[in-house]
Amino acid sequence: DAGVTQSPTHLIKTRGQQVTLRCSPKSGHDTVSWYQQALGQGPQFIFQYYEEEERQRGNFPDRFSGHQFPNYSSELNVNALLLGDSALYLCASTAWGDWGINQPQHFGDGTRLSIL
Amino acid sequence: GDSVTQMEGPVTLSEEAFLTINCTYTATGYPSLFWYVQYPGEGLQLLLKATKADDKGSNKGFEATYRKETTSFHLEKGSVQVSDSAVYFCALGPYGQNFVFGPGTRLSVLP
């Protein structure tokens, strides 16, 4: 049973570029959340997708956008990259019904994004 | 808004020592509480959870009790091992909302 998988593992970009990160949820999950984890800090919620729609959003600018596909996989896009966007980006999945009762999310190993 | 506070690290212990990592929270409503662990180069793994007041979560020798009166969820282990070295995150899940994580506490266990 595959868990949450993310790609790529590492990515290096320069300021002003755009990046796309990908996530496949755990089998049986239909809800995907994205988090940004800066070095030495806890994960910060970016947004959540269910039924191909953004359901919740954290305090992140519009440069951060996402998409969910019919197979439940998801993409995180970041435009006009800034040095401060350097972080580990984590994807977490759950089943929507479990979400409503605060069951744990399952996390991928993340994508390490470095901005030069 | 909802928030989680954890004791600052790093915490350095000798093998077989007793571990406590403090966690307190502020939240409206009745959140569930979680401890996640992150090993180097990996994502977060659920360690244990508690969904209501006075619940005790436990896993792999770790325990934490949901204390509503003190708004706390302290993580404890009676005898740590070198393999427990990692970063530990306390988190809360307000009903139907996104999870809020604490800043993490790094634990180093020396042989």
- Grade residue B94 by pLDDT with cuts at 50, 70 and 90: low
Q: Quick one: B88 exposed, middle or buried, by C-beta within 10 A (0-12, 13-18, 19+)?
A: buried
Model pLDDT, residue A99: 60
The yes-or-no verdict on residue B95 having pLDDT over 90 is no
B33-37 mean pLDDT: 95
**A34-43 pLDDT tens trace:** 999 999 899 9
Dihedral of the alpha carbons of B68, B77, A99, B7, in degrees to the nearest 10: 60
CB spacing of A44 vs B104 below 8 angstroms: no
Residue A9 Cα, gap to closest chain B Cα (Å): 10
The yes-or-no verdict on residue B41 having pLDDT over 90 is no
Residue B40 Cα, gap to closest chain A Cα (Å): 10
**A3-24 pLDDT tens trace:** 999 999 999 999 999 999 999 9
Which residues of chain B are within 8 Å of residue A44 when distances are taken between CB atoms? 101
Longest dimension (CA), chain A: 41
Residue B34 Cα, gap to closest chain A Cα (Å): 8
**A63-101 pLDDT tens trace:** 999 999 999 999 999 999 999 999 999 999 988 877 656
The yes-or-no verdict on residue A104 having pLDDT over 80 is no
Model pLDDT, residue A105: 82
Angstrom distance (rounded) from CA A53 to CA A76: 13
Mean of pLDDT over chain B:
92
Angstrom distance (rounded) from CA B108 to CA B91: 21
- Give the chain B residue whose CA is nearest to the CA of A6: B43
- Grade residue B30 by pLDDT with cuts at 50, 70 and 90: confident
Model pLDDT, residue B7: 87
DSSP conformational letter for A18:
-
Comparing CB atoms, the residue among B32, B46, B101 nearest residue A43 is B101
Model pLDDT, residue A4: 95
The yes-or-no verdict on residue B70 having pLDDT over 90 is yes
